[in-house]
Amino acid sequence: MDSIILEAKGITKKYRQTLALDNVELKLQKGKIYGFIGQNGAGKTTFLRMVTGLAFPTGGELALWGKTGEKELQEQRKRIGCIIEGPALYPSMTAYQNLEVQRLQRGIPDKGIIDKTLKMVGLADTARKKVRNFSLGMKQRLGIAIALLNTPEFLILDEPINGLDPQGIVDVRNLIKSLNKEYGMTIIISSHILEELYNTATDFILIDHGRIIEELSEAELNEKCKQHIAIKATDTNKAIMVLEEKLHTDKFKVMPDNTIQLYDFLNDTEKVAVELAQSGVIVTGLTVTGDTLEQYFLDKIGGGKRD
Amino acid sequence: MTKLIRAEVYKLTHSLYPWGIWLAYLAFSAVLVRDHTGEFTYLRSALYPITFLQFLIVGIAAVCIGNEFNNRVIQGYVSSGHSRAAVFCAKSLIYSVSALMINELTLLFFGIQGWMVSGESIDAGLMIRLAPSLLAMNMVPMFVAFLTKSSGKAMGFGFLAYALQVASLNTPGITERAVYLPYGHMFIAFRDGAFSHYPVILAVDIVWSLVFLTGSYLAFRRSDLK
């Protein structure tokens, strides 16, 4: 039970005639990074707003760390850090002052946490600059800093890479991964940049028209997307032997053109290349290929067309 | 709630807008108080502009509450695990104290001016007795801000509510009805220099404040925040 951070039981949200969330059933487990995928209006933000107490469901029940009920839920939200639809910022204050307000309202005694967090998000040099002069990317970074200030157990990031430059995207990805690894932080990220989600998340939740249409792990996704490493070698039989004996895997297929499709080691292609090379196999081609997350998602919702 | 108040006080002390609004309030008052004829004390004369300058308090509500919804600050407090009751109490307390200070500091300023220029005594009693009426007057912009949850709408609808109240002071029979309106209490204090039916006036202020305070909380308590 302790491993379940969040449980949604039949959560429904209706706005007059619009059904924004339709009987959502979901369980998030501790220590995972969830990619929350859906088109505009699919219900992602509505769901996240309910988790953070900004909106109320019209049906169903929400549990955080096993606790339900309005008062208990609100108490559990102290363990959460989030950015929903943009960060809460005071434009006329500096980045440091913004974090000081957050430190005071969260009752964090250690003032040093501010400099530490600013450094973590790469804003240490602009701590004394007024937020009104910040670029969109810098505001996003500051928003992430606010979300991280209390070292939350559960981090909710709604479109965290909006406005970030390529380096910023990589920085945020590395930050998310290190937070997950270092603190065991459970993280849910919604983003339209599915390729980036694919590179960051360990599990995926697909939502469409307010319904969860699929939940799957990275391995399951790779399997469904038929993600594989396509290996072309001068000696196919020797390559197969290396896969079986050195890499101890049988998750591969040999195609009629002698290309080997390896469904294992997708995150460690270097290891495959090194083992093959060290065994004297001349590799003429080694690429990760298959459906992308984007293609898979669009297939699931019917070609990406909305009513 | 203590944590929220500490954060709010930090913001207030690192922000220029309350001082800017107070200076504007004082400047407008100084112009309007020139209607002072010598018939009234400076302090009493300052009661006249207070009613008209309430539009600046609408501005305070729009900045202190409406804009905090726009900047997602109130949403941030809620998602940090503070109860909505605590967020409401902290915001309404800080707003009410700021607005009341602006009102009372202006009265004090003119009281001191009267003392320095004409040797008038500073009627602290009147200033204290006016406080509930001023608080009650300031509840309306706060209610509008919590209801609309946006600085623009808080400003627009706040001005509308303000205009209606000022217009009501210019209708026939206001002398009889003034006792039932906090705006009217300023009119009575200006006219008489004292409150002849203070228990009634105090009761009206308390009821008025409670009604708008409750309305503000109800508008916030179960509403979805964008």
The per-residue pLDDT for B198 is: 84
- Chain B contact probe: residue of A48, A94, A103, A104 with most B CBs at under 10 A: A104
**Within a domain: A55:** yes
Q: Which member of A54, A104, A107 has the closest CB to residue B224?
A: A54
> Hey, are the CB atoms on B7 and A105 less than 8 Å from each other?
yes
Residues A247 and A166 both lie in one domain: no
Is residue A196 in a domain? yes
pLDDT above 90: residue A138: no
Query: Do both A250 and A138 map to the same domain?
Result: no
Asked if the structure places residue A297 within a domain, the reply is no
Distance from CA of A303 to the nearest CA of B (A): 30
B35: confidence class by pLDDT, cuts 50, 70, 90: low
pLDDT above 70 covers a percentage of chain A that reads 97
CB B174 within 8 A of CB B185: no
Q: Residue B3's closest chain A neighbor by CA?
A: A105
- How many domains does chain A fold into? 2
Establish if A269 belongs to a structural domain.
Answer: yes
C-beta atoms of B225 and A106 within 8 A = no
Q: Which residues of chain B make contact with A150, given a CB cutoff of 8 A? A: 80
By Cβ distance, the residue of A54, A71, A78 closest to B225 is A54
Q: Are residues A113 and A8 in the same domain?
A: yes
Both A268 and A208 in one domain: the answer is no
CB A105 to CB B71 under 8 A? Answer: no
Shared domain for A267 and A173, answered yes or no, is no
Question: Which residue among B14, B75, B78 places its CB closest to the CB of A93?
Answer: B14
pLDDT digits (tens, 9 = 90+) for B160-193: 988 888 888 788 877 778 888 888 888 788 777 7
> How many angstroms separate the Cα of A135 from the Cα of each of A95, A126, B120, B209?
12, 11, 56, 43
The pLDDT score that the predictor gives to residue A16 is 85
pLDDT band for position A29 (cuts 50, 70, 90): very high
- Cβ atoms < 10 Å from Cβ of B174: 15
Provide, as residue numbers in chain B, all residues whose Cβ is less than 8 Å from the Cβ of A82. Answer: 79
- C-alpha–C-alpha distance, residues B130 and B50, integer Å: 11
Rounded Cα distance, A174 and A63, in Å: 29
Q: Are residues A175 and A237 in the same domain?
A: no
Say if residue A248 is in the same domain as residue A162.
Answer: no
Chain centroid to CA B36:
23
Q: Which member of B79, B81, B224 has the closest CB to residue A56? A: B224
ipTM > 0.90 (yes/no): no
Which tokens hold the place of B10?
Answer: 């930090």
Whether B20 has its CB under 8 Å from any CB of chain A: the answer is no
